Amino acid sequence: MIRTSPHFVKPTPLQVVMLKVAGALLPGIAVYCYVFGAGILLQLLLATITALATEAACLKLRNYPIKPFITDGSAIVTAWLLALSLPPLSAWWMIVLATVIAIGLAKHLYGGLGQNPFNPAMIGFAVMIVSFPAQMGRWNAPLALPNADLTTWQQFGYIFTGQLPPGLTFDTLASATPLDAVKTALMQSHAMSDIFGGAIFQAGFLPSEMGWIAAAYLVGGLFLLQQRVIQWQLPVAFLAALAAFSSVFYLLDPAHYTSPVFHLFSGAAMLGAFFIATDPVTAPTTPRGRLIYAGLIGLLTWLIRTYGGYPDGVAFAVIIMNIASPFIDQYTQPAVFGRKANNNGSSKGATAAQGKKA
């Protein structure tokens, strides 16, 4: 039996959506803590406080009510994504500055939530990596490696003061990310088999602890798909394009190109596919547009990782495609019911009679 009309679908409140996104990040945060220590919790807290304070200040300056907007959860999700993108044990001022840029400039400068053309978290990350490349490249080693075992209070102290316990320097804790290690070794003409035999890799082509973090983000992303919080076209097209291009070049020359498994489970691929590229404000709204948009993000990510000057290209790929998102939407709009599309993307009446000029 079919119920009588009208058929209305009750929209999901924004707070519920943001709560589900934050909950989906929790598996990744938990594994992140296990791999790098509890310092990430302080980074998340600093980013959250800064995001809420910046949001409130911008709303006050714009004469907007503070409570409805500050409690919708969007600023907190932006803060978490940004904190998870920064290196572990980043200095407190880096976290604060990046968050102010993300909320104050990338979001409110364009009119607030729903008006920003760029992903705020990725703008904050991009500004930091361009402005402070040395600090953004200082990733501490996983706790499983020698000399990397700092206590929670030592990690907190380093974030605020930059001071390590006597006899210990950050150089003894520093570790290149898997993407950076591979790119640097290939530039030095090392064999791929020697590269993956290093300390930060397990046997085969999977990066070590970073692969577990990516897997945790995958679990959270599948939860968002199951809850219909995100559209499947975006993560599927992103990961499919990244896997396809890396597979082709890996099969052609495995000595100089890494496997698709490595690309998918290292860096920010899973975080980008399920939590960043799926931003409903900056992504296209049409199904075909989402496939094009996310597929090009996957391609640009592979190009930047392989030939660019940065180890990971997710942030820059997303920002570049944010620029193209309105154009993709414009040329992928489906025809209005009862009309057929012209070559220029517009539509005309399929059955309407042609009127004569008076």
Q: What's the mean pLDDT in 103-127?
A: 93
- Answering whether pTM is above 0.75, one says yes
Q: Which residue has the higher pLDDT, 322 or 155?
A: 322
Least confident of 32-41, 244-253, 286-295, 341-350: 341-350
The pLDDT value given to residue 228? 92
Highest mean pLDDT among 106-115, 174-183, 237-246: 237-246
The answer, yes or no, to whether the previous bond of 6 is cis (omega within 30 of 0) is yes
Q: Of the spans 155-169, 226-240, 244-258, which averages the highest pLDDT?
A: 226-240
Confidence of residue 186 (pLDDT cuts 50, 70, 90): low
Within 10 angstroms of residue 4's Cβ, the number of other Cβ atoms is 6
Query: Alpha carbon 130 to chain centroid distance?
Result: 17
Q: Per-residue confidence at 343, pLDDT binned at 50, 70, 90?
A: low
Mean of the pLDDT values across residues 68-96?
92
Residues 6+ apart with CB under 8 A from 92: 46, 159, 160
